[in-house]
Amino acid sequence: MKPIGITTTVPVECLIAAGYRPVDLNNLFISHSDPGHLVELAEKDGFPLNTCTWIKGIYGACLEYNIRHVMCVTTGDCSNTLMLMEVLNSLGIETISFAYPPEPDTHQMQEVLEKMSSELGTRVSQAESIRTRLKPVRELALELDRLTWQEDKVSGFENHFWLVSSSDFNQDYVKYRQDVLQLVEEARTRQPYDSGQLRLAYIGVPPVLGRSLYDYVEKNNARIVYNETQRQFAMPVPGNNLAEQYSHYTYPYRINYRIADIIHEASKRKIDGIIHYVQSFCHRAIGDIIFKKTLDLPILTLEGGSDFYLNQHAKTRLEAFIDMLEQSKILRENKKEAR
Ligand code: SF4
């Protein structure tokens, strides 16, 4: 199968049906042994210092791994992708654009899928067969998610890693399924985490900080039991067909759809507080204003730049946030007891 880079989650079923192997360039970048080197490649070629690290990393990954075909998502993801696409074209890299419809409407989505399939030389009916094949794989990823929040047997980082990887199934959905199955079976035998721990939600774009954020949270007697965007990549509301599946996917659309999902999951998962991760120079960071107005839970906004680990400043803020949540929880419990 021919590799094709993707700049974010797309209907991979169409790509696979057309004989491509989807490669999420974000995952390729962040799993590189030296992601900073890929950022340097982009800066050496003229990417401004004030460009988001993910965009530079995606570009660097294309060069480093000699990716010759890229599907660029021009609507519903990143305002920088249009220009990234131009730069990739200028290097002779073949790009195909993909635009999510402006609203999560199944008719519009169906048209988009038909256009995408025809450009790739396949049909939606063939992509639907791939959807059926991927269904148990997605279900397994969601079972891992359930084991995280309902049985407290999976760490925040494991949850993040396997859900974020469902955008391209680590380039091999058969192996991905085996790996997640093995983890799910092993996790079922684990002792649950302490039920008294604080339960946190992570919302926003995936972090460039790797596991350091998750490990630090756990070191401070708290745990991330909900990774908003990463879970969306696994298509938690599959519907009856591809058009429904990708219309239920909240990330490309207006923030209200994300907020509804966050409120629902935060209540179900008994969340005590939210970490909103924003990437420096990302337009999505502005959404923080709306999250703070609409979400009825304490929110810590954490901004990531080009460090691939949690720096001391972020650690201090995180510790203070967890401490504040801990104190509020104690106060609430004392009040309950006094009644
Ligand atoms: S973090 Fe924001 S600016 Fe960076 S690639 Fe993602 S959407 Fe674009």
For the chain (339 residues), the mean pLDDT of every run of 10, in chain order, is 96 98 97 97 97 97 97 93 97 96 97 97 98 98 98 98 98 98 98 95 95 96 97 97 98 97 98 98 96 97 95 97 95 83
The tally of CA atoms less than 13 A away on the side-chain side of residue 119 is 13
Give domain status of residue 322, yes or no.
no
Q: Which atom of ligand 1 lies closest to the CA of 205?
A: 1
Name the domain count of the chain: 1
- For 278, the 3-state DSSP assignment is strand
Nearest-CA residue for atom 8 of ligand 1? 78
Specify the residue with its C-alpha closest to ligand 1, atom 3.
Answer: 282
- Structure token pair of residue 302: 């954490």
Q: Would residue 265 count as lying in a domain?
A: no
pLDDT at 336: 80
Question: What is the phi-psi region of residue 270: left when phi exceeds 0, alpha when psi lies from -120 to 50, beta otherwise?
Answer: left
Is residue 188, in this structure, part of any structural domain at all?
no
302 Cα–ligand 1 center, Å? 15
Residues 273, 298 contacting (CB under 8 angstroms): yes
What residues contact 246, with CB distance under 8 A and at least 6 apart? 11, 100, 109, 113, 235
The whole domain housing 61 covers: 2-124
How many Å lie between the centroid of ligand 1 and the Cα of residue 237?
24
- Distance of CA 47 to CAs 22, 39, 53, 207, Å? 25, 9, 10, 20
- Determine the pLDDT at residue 193: 96
pLDDT of residue 332: 85
Q: Is residue 74 part of a domain?
A: yes
**For ligand 1, which residues put their CB under 6 angstroms from it?**
52, 54-55, 77-78, 80, 205, 279, 282, 284
pTM, to two decimals? 0.96
Which residue in 264, 291, 265, 266 sits closest to 277, CA to CA? 291
Mutate which of 29, 53, 54 to test ligand 1's pocket (most atoms within 8 Å of Cβ)? Answer: 54
Ligand 1: centre distance to CA 125 (Å): 32
Tokens of 128: 């639907």
Q: Which pLDDT score, from 0 to 100, does residue 165 have?
A: 98
What CATH number does residue 55 fall under? 3.40.50.11890
